[in-house]
Amino acid sequence: MQRALAFKASPPLGVPLRFLSSAPLFALLAALLMLWAGPVSLASRWNGYALALTHLFTLGVLGNAMAGALMQVMPVATGISVLAPRATAGVVHSLLCLGALALAAGFLWVEPRLFGAAAAMLLAGLLWFLAAAAGGLWRDRKQASKGSAEILSAVRLALASLLLTALLGGALAGSMALALPLPRQLTNLHGAWGLLGWVGLLVIGIAYQVIPMFQVTELYPRPVTRWLALTIFVLLAVLTANAMLPSAAQWEAGFVLAAALLACYLVFAIVTFQLLRHRKRPEPDTTTLFWRVSLACLAATPPVWLLHAAQVADLSVLLGVLFIVGFAWSAVNGMLYKILPFLLWYHAQKDLMVALRVVPKVKDFIPDHIARPQFRIHLAAVVLMLLASLRPALSAHAAALAMAASTSWLCWNIWRALRRYLEARRDIAAALAPKA
């Protein structure tokens, strides 16, 4: 895998920044909605509050974070850029954010016109994004960086999963807008392709690059990078076919396939945890701590799912919190503390021909002692949300308050970093100005 990155291929700062800075804002909005709705928001995966929360997180938080990370990491790590990155970022970001808000409002107020508007905006935005990404993969296929095959394989499969997620989601939103009944298994398939396909595969693909790079670990084992993403995608495809075909053994086959899927993610969690355990820097930084929480939640998902499948209890809300908030959002939150400072540092000094003392170091944008308190509040929020998914009446409000505090703190840290960037640009301009 490539370790020397092509930073000159980075898109303009505004391309990834608009996505990455929007993710915590949607997390804050979700926390405020949960605070307002109270225990009912986690009482069932099927009520309007829970569906609104789910899509604020999956579209507003993870959708923005995944799109921004892909548009930044792909050209730097693989040499492949999406088509028309400025236009794509502007259009996709606007449609994604507006569509996520409209969809959440549709679930809250059960308004068919909102579902129709959300379906139109989200399908347009996601299909534009997919077309731009697929076009870039085709256009730049001959100049892909050496050693980037594993990342590109995971990215392609994640994008294919996003296409299926968007089509299934569009059909479901359209059915809500037109009051047409659709089989409930389409909802489960939509969730499976969105979480285990799009989100999970892209986190895996990006981890292949950012874990060794930012955490100073060994590279992922070759069998993992070569086969894991493909195995997950194939299992999802077979699971989908099994769900659509009438069969007396459908439930048993689905159980085996789902168990195999979660076993793949357990392998990823164990391998990544071992890499972090033997990292070359003994003291963990804040991002390392976020990754530990993320991997712990991912590793807890298979046994919780087994209890749910055995009908010990309805643990569907707990599963959603574990994967979406515990695993995916924790990983994204941690990566923001590495990706954003590096981007701001790079764009602050990339055009300089000489070294200047006024240029801040990467760690100066968000120092670790500034990020660490936010991690502690995030950890408390994750624990409280897990408890609230089991006993909503006891800790739903406390979980919402902790999540709101954590995401507010993250927004403040990002704002501090952006202000430091603007100050650095002014200092650099002053240092280069001709002396009177």
pLDDT tens across 317-363, in order? 999 999 999 999 999 999 999 999 999 999 998 877 777 888 899 99
Tell me whether residue 270 is in a domain.
yes
Q: Is the pLDDT of residue 114 over 50?
A: yes
Among 10-14, 167-171, 176-180, 243-247, whose mean pLDDT is lowest? 243-247
- Note whether 295 and 263 are within 8 A (CB): no
The C-alpha angle 287, 291, 294, rounded to 5 degrees, equals 140
- How many domains, the chain? 1
Tell me whether residue 432 is in a domain.
no
pLDDT confidence bin for 1, thresholds 50/70/90: very low
Q: Quote the domain boundaries for residue 398.
A: 7-425
pLDDT confidence bin for 436, thresholds 50/70/90: low
Q: Kindly state the tokens that stand for 215.
A: 């955490």
Q: Is the pLDDT of residue 167 over 90?
A: yes
Query: What is the Cα 40 distance to its own chain's centre?
Result: 25
Give the pLDDT of residue 4: 59
Q: Is the pLDDT of residue 3 over 60?
A: no
- Note whether 100 and 59 are within 8 A (CB): yes
Tell me whether residue 205 is in a domain.
yes
Considering only CA atoms, which of 156, 93, 160, 86 is closest in space to residue 124?
Answer: 93
Q: Biggest alpha carbon distance in the chain?
A: 86
Tell me whether residue 2 is in a domain.
no
The percentage of residues in the chain with a pLDDT greater than 70, rounded to a whole number, is: 98
More confident residue, 227 or 247: 227
The percentage of residues in the chain with a pLDDT greater than 90, rounded to a whole number, is: 82
pLDDT digit string (tens) for 261-316?
Answer: 999 999 999 999 999 999 888 789 999 999 999 999 999 999 999 999 999 999 99
pLDDT confidence bin for 2, thresholds 50/70/90: very low
More confident residue, 402 or 360: 402
Name residue 29's amino acid.
Answer: L
Tell me whether residue 435 is in a domain.
no
Among 79-93, 108-122, 272-286, 376-390, whose mean pLDDT is lowest? 272-286
Give the pLDDT of residue 246: 77
Neighbours of 278 (CB within 10 A): 10
Quote the mean pLDDT of the chain: 94
CATH number at residue 343: 1.20.210.10
pLDDT (mean) for 62-85: 94
pLDDT confidence bin for 375, thresholds 50/70/90: very high
Tell me whether residue 430 is in a domain.
no
pLDDT digit string (tens) for 168-215?
Answer: 999 999 999 988 887 878 999 999 999 999 999 999 999 999 999 889
What does the alpha-carbon distance between residue 101 and residue 94 come to, in Å, rounded to a whole number?
Answer: 11
Tell me whether residue 299 is in a domain.
yes
Q: Can you list the pairs that 304-313 forms with residues at least 24 positions away whose Cβ atoms lie under 8 Å? A: 305/258, 305/259, 305/262, 306/259, 309/255, 309/258
Q: Is the pLDDT of residue 247 over 90?
A: no
Tell me whether residue 431 is in a domain.
no
